């Protein structure tokens, strides 16, 4: 089984993948995470999308051999940016993630307006989510949702406004997993972005299936492994 690098989305951190990692480990798949610089506590320095792309690139290099990379939500940006030219990436899995082309930004993909469910801080450099239990975890066990919501960080505004300059999905096999009950990224937007990928899968979950359906998500990842077809 090829290892899988898990790249978290905005405001989150690698620890949120713990349930999925356990499910993958049971199936003989080694899974590792990264910590993106664009998500940080309010008293910490914060990075941007290009720094995140460098982090993802270095993590893939450290794996050495072939691997898969799963990008969740915002994580699709640094994965798209950072994996261009990576010969050891067997496939990218965009989990209800942004699949952007060169010159595009996440903010533009949101219509160049702030969704009601996020707020800017006083100096207009960081974002915080409003009502994450409903936006991110609406089909997740409430206790789990509250646990993860308590760990959320601030997100740099710059990471949402910086344009993609390299597009890994144009050269690497890719799978898009649409989440049917996602309150963060509308299904129609997921379906539009999925057209840029090699194939599409679907889950009847909220924005965070690694929390609400880790076993089902692990099975989809298993299906993509080269010895499973």
Beta-strand pair 31-33/126-129: unpaired
Task: Return the CATH number at 73.
Answer: 3.40.50.1820
Distances (CA, A) of 28 to 31, 175, 218, 220, 225: 10, 21, 11, 14, 11
Q: Name residues whose C-beta falls within 8 Å of residue 169's C-beta, 6 or more positions apart in sequence.
A: 80, 92, 94, 99, 196, 197
Residue 210 counted as domain residue:
yes
92-112 mean pLDDT: 97
How many Å apart are CA 209 and CA 168, to the nearest integer? 24
Residue 154: predicted pLDDT:
98
Question: How many Å apart are CA 58 and CA 61, to the nearest integer?
Answer: 5
Give the closest residue to 100 by CA, choosing from 53, 33, 138, 51. Answer: 53
pLDDT of residue 125: 96
For 51, other C-beta atoms within 10 Å of its C-beta total 18
Residue 131 lies in a domain: yes
Domain that residue 143 falls in: 4-224
- Give the chain's mean pLDDT: 97
CB atoms within 10 A of CB 199: 12
Closest CA relative to residue 159, chosen from 43, 54, 52, 40: 52
pTM for the whole thing? 0.97
Q: How confident is the model at residue 228 (pLDDT cuts 50, 70, 90)?
A: low
Is residue 229 in some structural domain?
no
45 half-sphere exposure, CB direction, 13 A CA radius:
2
Q: What is the pLDDT of residue 86?
A: 96
Does 170 map to a domain? yes
| Domain tally, the chain | 1
pLDDT-derived band at 227, boundaries 50, 70, 90:
confident
Do the beta carbons of residue 92 and residue 68 sit within 8 Å? yes
pLDDT tens string 132-185: 999 999 999 999 999 999 999 999 999 999 999 999 999 999 999 999 999 999
């Amino acid at each position: 089984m090829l290892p899988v690098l898990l790249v978290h989305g905005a405001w989150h951190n690698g620890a949120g993948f713990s349930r999925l990692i356990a499910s993958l480990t049971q199936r003989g798949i080694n899974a590792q995470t990264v910590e993106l610089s664009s998500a940080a506590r309010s008293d910490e320095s914060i990075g941007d999308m290009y720094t995140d792309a460098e982090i993802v690139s270095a993590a893939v290099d450290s794996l050495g051999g072939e691997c898969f990379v799963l990008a969740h939500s915002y994580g699709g940006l640094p994965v798209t940016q950072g994996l261009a030219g990576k010969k050891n990436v067997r496939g990218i899995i965009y989990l209800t993630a942004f699949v952007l082309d060169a010159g595009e930004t996440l903010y533009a993909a949101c219509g160049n307006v702030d969704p009601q469910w996020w707020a800017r801080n006083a100096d207009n450099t960081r974002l915080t989510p409003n009502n994450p239990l409903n936006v991110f975890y609406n089909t997740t066990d409430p206790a789990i949702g509250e646990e993860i919501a308590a760990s959320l960080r601030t997100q740099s505004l710059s990471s949402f406004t910086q344009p993609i300059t390299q597009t890994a999905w144009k050269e690497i096999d890719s799978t898009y997993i649409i989440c049917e009950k996602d309150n963060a990224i509308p299904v129609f937007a997921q379906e539009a972005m999925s057209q840029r990928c090699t194939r599409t899968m679907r889950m009847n979950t909220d924005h965070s299936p690694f929390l609400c359906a880790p076993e089902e998500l692990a099975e989809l990842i298993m299906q993509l492994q080269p010895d499973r077809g």
